Structure 1
Amino acid sequence: MNVAIITGASSGIGEEFVRQVARQTKIDEIWMIARRRQKLEQIGKTVKKSVKVIAMDLQIKDNIKQLEDMLKKEKPSIGLLVNCAGYGIRKEFSKGSLEEELGMIEVNCISLTALTYLCLPYMQKGGRIIQVASAASFLPQAGFAVYSASKSYVLNFSRALNKELKKSEIYVTAVCPGPVDTDFFLISDKGSKMPSYKKYFMARTDQVVRKAIADSNRKKSISIYGVSIWLLRFLTRFI
């Protein structure tokens, strides 16, 4: 059985990955991982694929161990891993709580790294790993310091891992979208509002995910949606 594992699957980009991956004939079952069981079950009923609902908070180490045990027991053949779980809070570092700041690192970096490590032994030849980073990874951002730093980790980790795994014919793509029309901002803007100019660069979730899947299938190491974000990438690299 060819399995896709998708974290952060209960909303936003993760939910859209579930919907678009479910249309791929090569995938037999989708493991949906997120905290909200009811939402996962609702989404699972709307897709025409076998799904496994795994309701857990990846910030909790015991849950990571539980997932490790599940993998050892079921020994799935993983064709696709999508690490989409993550969050950000737009706030000056000194004004955020320690729990908030460390939580971003734990979910965006540590859990993503752990999931990738645990899934690799079960990944088949030609398998794909999609790591959801952000255009925030391209440069430091005051007022969004920990989030942008955590996504820079995701980008650099993914690019290096892609190089390492090519000999095994497993390919890693870091997805670096700009602002995307999701519930992400309900959490991030609790600290301070997103700059109004960024609203002009807002992308649709389905467009970002479609591009990410296409770029992953083309074995690209980075997926960037939109000319404006490509330009940002160019400017931060060369100017």
Structure 2
Amino acid sequence: MNVVIITGASSGIGREFALQLDAGLYTVDEFWLIARREERLEELAARLDHMAKVIPMDLTSDADMDHFRKRLKKERPVIRMLINSSGYGMMGNFNRLGRQEQLGMLDINCRALTDMTYACIPYMKRKSRIIMMASSAAFLPQPGFAVYAASKAYVLSLSRALREELGPEEIYVTAVCPGPVRTEFFEKAEKHEDTLAIKKYSMVEAEDVVRSALTASARNQGMSVYSPLIKGLHLLTKVVPHGVLLGIVQKMK
């Protein structure tokens, strides 16, 4: 049985991946939709033409992950695509945010993503694909968004390394590095502080980010960076010292 596994499928970018793949993917038998909000997953599953398995779970729970690994061992699917889309960010200075809020970002953005990827790779075959949701925040440290940016730098670094390791097995890894996307992300991210105005003006739609990411994955590209503005930022962080850029960001705040 060929499956697609999508974490964070209950909303935003994860949900959009499910909708677009459902419309254009004909070599997969079943979608496995993973998130904590079961009702949201059931609603999404009802919209899909493919068979969909709803798996409500907390990716940061060791017990839930143990149960998921047992499910894999029992059903032994062929995972044609793994999309790690779960994650969250919280804006605010490091010493003002709560301890659990910040450790929670590391747990879901880094630890859970790593654990899910490790669990799934043994069930992948040639031409399987992994899509990792990183962020343009991975390109540059971000005061006021420090832990989130650091966590996404981890995702980008891990994706690049896995791409090289898995390349001989023809398992392809693509890191997706969008800028601000119009989703529920900012409802949580702005709990303590608002984002920079320039980020709000540069927001893009989830469907465009996902379409670009799927194209990059199909072309076996290592990274998907959507929109001319974010591509420009990526180039800028390669040629301008980060200390200079960080000074500019601080003045903008």
TM-score interval, smaller chain: over 0.9
Q: Distance in 1 between matches of 2:138 and 2:67?
A: 30
User: 1: distance between equivalents of 2:47 and 2:145?
Assistant: 35
Partner residue, 2:167: 166
CA contact (8 A) 1:162 1:171 kept: yes
- Structure 1 segment 171-190 matched on structure 2, within 5 A: 171-190=172-191
Identity %: 49
Give a deviation string over 1:54-85, Cα, whole Å, max 9, x none.
Answer: 00111111111111111111100000000000
Asked which structure has the greater CA Rg, the reply is 2
**Counterpart of 1:19?**
19
1:19 and 1:223 mapped to 2: Cα distance?
19
Query: Counterpart of 2:2?
Result: 2
> What is the TM-score when the length of structure 2 is the normalising length?
0.93
What's the counterpart of residue 243 of structure 2? none
Task: For residue 100 of structure 2, give the secondary structure of its aligned residue in structure 1.
Answer: helix
Pair 1:34 & 2:35 matched:
yes
Aligned partner of 2:92 in structure 1 is: 91
Q: 1:115-194 maps to which residues of 2 (within 5 A)?
A: 115-194=116-195
Where structure 1 has 5 or more consecutive residues not aligned to the other structure, the ranges are none
Count of matched residue positions in the alignment of Structure 1 and Structure 2: 239
CA distance in 2, matches of 1:189, 1:169: 40
Question: Offset at 1:199?
Answer: 1.7
Runs (4 or more) in structure 1 with deviation over 4 Å come to none
8 A contact 1:44–1:51 mirrored in 2 = yes
Q: Which residue identity is paired with 1:219? A: N
Partner of 1:74: 75
- Structure 1 distance, partners of 2:187, 2:27, is 35
CA distance in 2 between partners of 1:25 and 1:111 (Å): 29
Q: Is the 8 A contact 1:131 1:158 kept in 2?
A: yes
1:128-152 deviations in Å (ceiling 9; x for gaps): 0000000000000001000000000
1:21–1:27 contact (8 Å) kept in structure 2: no
Partner of 1:211: 212
Residue identity in the other structure for 2:14: G
CA deviation digits over 1:165-192, x for unaligned, max 9?
A: 0000000000000000000000000020
SS in 2 for 1:206: helix
SS of residue in 1 equivalent to 2:161? helix
Question: Residue type of the partner of 2:180?
Answer: P
Q: Assess if the C-alpha contact under 8 Å between 1:29 and 1:49 holds in 2.
A: yes
Aligned equivalents of 1:51, 1:143: Cα separation in 2: 39
Name the SS of the counterpart of 1:6 in structure 2. strand
Shift of 1:21: 1.2
Letter in 2 for 1:7: T
1:106 corresponds in structure 2 to 107
Q: Does 2:231 align with 1:235?
A: no
Check whether the contact 1:224–1:230 (CA below 8 A) recurs between aligned residues.
Answer: yes
Measured in 2, the distance between the counterparts of 1:176 and 1:130 equals: 11
